[in-house]
Amino acid sequence: MTTPTVTITDNATGKTSECPVLVPTYGPRVIDTKNLYKDLGMFTHDPGFMTTSACRSSITFLDGDEGKLFHRGYPIEQLAEHSSYLEVCYLLLYGELPTKTQFEEFEYQVKFRSNVHERVNHMYSGYMYDAHPMSIMVGVMGALSSYYHEALDLNDPVDRDLTAKRVIAKMPTLAAQCYKYAIGHPFVYPNNSLGYVENFLNMMFSHPMNTYTPDPVAVRALEVMLILHADHEQNASTSTVRLAGSAGANPFACMAAGMVTLWGPAHGGANEAVLHMLNEIKTPENIPQFIARAKDQNDTFRLMGFGHRVYKNFDPRSRVIRKVCHDLLEHMPANVNARVFDIALKLEELALKDEYFIERKLYPNVDFYSGIILKALGIPESMFTVMFGLGRAVGWIAQWLEMMQDPDFRIGRPRQLYVGSRQREYVPIGQRG
């Protein structure tokens, strides 16, 4: 069978380029424009990468129009219902669900590496007492590169695999340490007799003076939240990790780069922004005024936690997390956060009925509900994006591993459409008008 092609013709010169059409398992076919410059002397121009595929990947498939999300072929709804976060980590890294023995070995390997070098604990004191936890996470994550650099051979699959396990193992410890540092509590060491999520909650909320027993409903809610954030194909932070990794950078430094991108409010910072917005709304009576602001083209305000670049129908993660969120709120005794939850539920109801949001296909995204869940779990708003990073770290490292094994792997280097000055002569400062 001949490879399908698309012919691109430069009408100015009559030259053509025969571009192979690549056929994916699912999703739109992809035009391979690698030879375009050679054939036509032209680049493609696509700010925001709206229609550009930058790599082959077999990890995650998502269909924004149909509202589908699969990891290694498994629908996210099934994983959220039946799986655990660590099992999803295994699936993302190795492509298959583990057998019982494989899972136990993987869990052991991860737990075994959950502690961080004692010197990492000293890094925190260099940060301002009120530093944003994401700024600390960027630093401490990057600092792990200093512990695993010389001995790490990026060309050795065993070393790369070890790196992936280290990232998954140490993320909860670093995240909990950021929180403990912020509130001035002593760090709590990992407890390997606990499950991954319980261990994280224990490091967050136990204290030498108190024992802490996590609520199983809270554990499950967080487990599902982490599963839903585990990977989302070539999003901004993952693409950052791949780009940094393509230069051969240390993988822990690449993770720190991913963390930087995640911090932005248009990406992982949205869950924190949702809570700020709910606090700003103050009472359900004020909601229509905020919806009106979001619709006003002359106002830069947007409803945080609404809309998505790819999901223009619904975000399948939102359906799952919405239920977890509603269940958790029902389970929790009435608490000081009840007002915020009432506002969130009312806002969701009103926006979903509003023509502006319906027409533009703006639905609550996963961050809208994850912020509420995290608030209900007692996690402070400043930690919300760290929590997103905790879940997403496996996606970053799985995509990094995939890239490192890809025969097409080369340094990522976009081109540009130069619109600056033409060549001109340097004028000495005294002669400039």
Residue 343 CB, shortest distance to ligand ACO, in Å, is: 16
Number of other CB atoms surrounding residue 145 within 10 Å: 17
The catalytic position among 308, 315, 327, 354 is 308
265-270 long-range contacts, CB within 8 A, separation 24+: 265/304, 266/236, 267/235, 267/236, 267/237, 268/237, 268/367, 268/385, 268/388, 268/389, 268/392, 269/134, 269/385, 270/304, 270/305, 270/365, 270/367, 270/371
197 counts as binding ligand ACO under rule CB under 6 A: no
Name which of 170 and 267 has its Cβ closer to ligand ACO. Answer: 267
Residues in 326-365 that interact with ligand ACO by CB under 6 A:
360, 362, 365
The catalytic position among 132, 229, 267, 367 is 367
Residue 416 CB, shortest distance to ligand ACO, in Å, is: 21
Residue of 93, 178, 255, 303 that binds ligand ACO (CB under 6 A)? 303
Cα torsion through 115, 117, 119, 125, rounded to 10: -30
Name which of 215 and 349 has its Cβ closer to ligand ACO. Answer: 349
Residue 365 CB, shortest distance to ligand ACO, in Å, is: 4
237 counts as binding ligand ACO under rule CB under 6 A: no
Which residues on neighbouring strands pair with residue 70, listed in sequence order? 61, 75
Q: Distance between CA 262 and CA 229 in Å, rounded?
A: 12
Residue of 79, 366, 372, 379 that binds ligand ACO (CB under 6 A)? 366
82 is catalytic: no
Number of other CB atoms surrounding residue 291 within 10 Å: 18
326 is catalytic: no
Contact range with ligand ACO by CB under 6 A, out of 62-70, 147-155, 298-306, 421-429: 298-306
308 counts as binding ligand ACO under rule CB under 6 A: yes
390 counts as binding ligand ACO under rule CB under 6 A: no
Residue 62 CB, shortest distance to ligand ACO, in Å, is: 12
Residue 399 CB, shortest distance to ligand ACO, in Å, is: 16
Q: Distance between CA 141 and CA 54 in Å, rounded?
A: 26
Residue of 270, 340, 377, 403 that binds ligand ACO (CB under 6 A)? 270
Contact range with ligand ACO by CB under 6 A, out of 27-35, 119-127, 174-182, 297-305: 297-305
403 counts as binding ligand ACO under rule CB under 6 A: no
Residue 347 CB, shortest distance to ligand ACO, in Å, is: 11
Name which of 117 and 312 has its Cβ closer to ligand ACO. Answer: 312
Site mask for ligand ACO (CB under 6 A), range 240-269, x = bound: --------------------------xxx-
Which residues on neighbouring strands pair with residue 19, listed in sequence order? 6
Name which of 163 and 271 has its Cβ closer to ligand ACO. Answer: 271
367 counts as binding ligand ACO under rule CB under 6 A: yes
Residue of 304, 374, 387, 398 that binds ligand ACO (CB under 6 A)? 304
Q: Distance between CA 254 and CA 387 in Å, rounded?
A: 18
**Could you give phi then psi for residue 128, rounded to 5 degrees?**
-55, 145
Where do contacts with ligand ACO occur on this chain (CB under 6 A)? 266-268, 270, 294, 302-309, 360, 362, 365-367
Active site residues: 308, 367
